[in-house]
Structure 1
Amino acid sequence: MFSNEDRNLLELISQDSRQTPEQLAIQTGLSIGYIENRIQQWVEDRIIIYRPLVNWERTGDQYVSALIEVRVIPQRGFGFDRIAKRLQKFPEIKAVYLMSGGFDLTLMIEGKTMQEVALFVAEKLAPLEHIQSTATHFVLRRYKQDGVELMGEEEALARLVVSP
């Protein structure tokens, strides 16, 4: 299991993965060598997975995200796992979650346009065996993702201004 020191180190890395082992050593009191070894092992074990968070709205490029609710017929002996493994192979699908409630899976999909996402759902997702139904919800604006605020304070305040 993980020691308190390891949990603290993981928490610091999750808050800012760009910190150097030297910076982490100062904050934790752990040796640089220990930190380097733990990070290397955690990366190999896929405990730490590095992926940059890009705020696409600031690039000016078209970029669309959608949350897709999916109802599935579970497969005998495999439940939802087999269909989830199949879905995660599509490059358009960025996340697959098993859910409780009125639907079974939630998918996060990215595309260049709303039409591109809609065509993916209609032509590739909905026709799959074991898919009962889908409901698509387009993301209109991302304010915060993975604990990171994407809209600066100045932008938020400017949007609050209402003239009489």
Structure 2
Amino acid sequence: MANMKLLQLLESDCTLTPEQLASMAGMTVEEVKAAVKEFEAEKLILGYQAVVDWDRTQRENVTALIEVKVTPQRGEGFDRIAERIYQYDEVESVYLMSGAFDLTVIISGRTLKEVAQFVGDKLAPLEDVTGTATHFILHKYKENHLIFEKREEQEKEWIFT
């Protein structure tokens, strides 16, 4: 039970120190360090990452959600085509879905054209892909349980002549 609490704490804020985690999870610092090491070895923890609000920076970035219909392969189902897709650097996430399409692919690029070229040149031509639908993310409100704060409007300067 303490291990579940520790995993939840790490997921919500991986910058917490072992001392803080121990206090919050009801464990000793040594238990926390051993558990984290074990989580990493067992691939329960796959990595640590900051969630960045790129809209608040000067970096140009476009994110798209792509619905992909594929033909599953005998004996391998969707795994082989999903693995082929997630090998591309542009791909951030791939999910197997229920419903009208099979895979959801999340990608990022610098421009709409760059994302469109990825879909047209790399994704759609794959042998087992039978269709795609691309949706561009216009604004992020919440991601990974974190709410993106509104940008403060810059004060407008009026000039009358």
**1:142 match: secondary structure:** coil
**Paired residue secondary structure (2:27):** coil
Following TM superposition, the consecutive aligned residue runs of length 4 or more in structure 1 with deviations greater than 4 angstroms are none
Secondary structure in 1 matching 2:74:
coil
- Give the secondary structure class of the aligned counterpart of 1:137: strand
Counterpart pick for 1:7 among 1, 4, 20: 4
Structure 1 stretch 103-112 or stretch 8-17: which is displaced more?
A: 8-17
Bigger helix fraction: 1
Aligned to 1:62: 60
Q: How far 1:55 moved relative to its partner?
A: 1.2
Structure 2 unmatched runs, 5+: 154-161
Query: What's 2:123 paired with?
Result: 125
Mean Cα deviation higher: 116-125 or 5-14: 5-14
Aligned AA for 2:84?
R
Alignment of 1:139-154 (within 5 A): 139-152=137-150
Give aligned-pair identity as a percent: 45
TM-score (norm 1): 0.89
Of 112, 133, 137, which residue of structure 1 is paired with 2:135? Answer: 137
Amino acid of the structure 1 residue aligned with 2:124: A
Q: CA deviation at 1:15?
A: 1.3
SS at match of 1:107: strand
Residue 6 (structure 2) pairs with residue 31 (structure 1): no
List alignment gaps of at least 5 residues for structure 1: 159-164
Q: Matched residue of 1:60: which SS?
A: coil
Cα offset, 1:29, TM superposition: 2.2
Moved more, 129-138 or 21-30: 21-30
Shift of 1:28: 2.2
Aligned equivalent of 1:21, options 18, 21, 42:
18
Q: CA deviation at 1:44?
A: 2.1
Normalising to structure 2: TM-score of the pair? Answer: 0.90
Give distance in 1, aligned partners of 2:75 and 2:26.
Answer: 48
Aligned partner of 1:161 in structure 2 is none
Partners of 2:50 and 2:24 in 1: CA distance = 23
Q: Counterpart of 1:55 in structure 2: which amino acid?
A: D
CA distance in 1, matches of 2:23, 2:95: 37
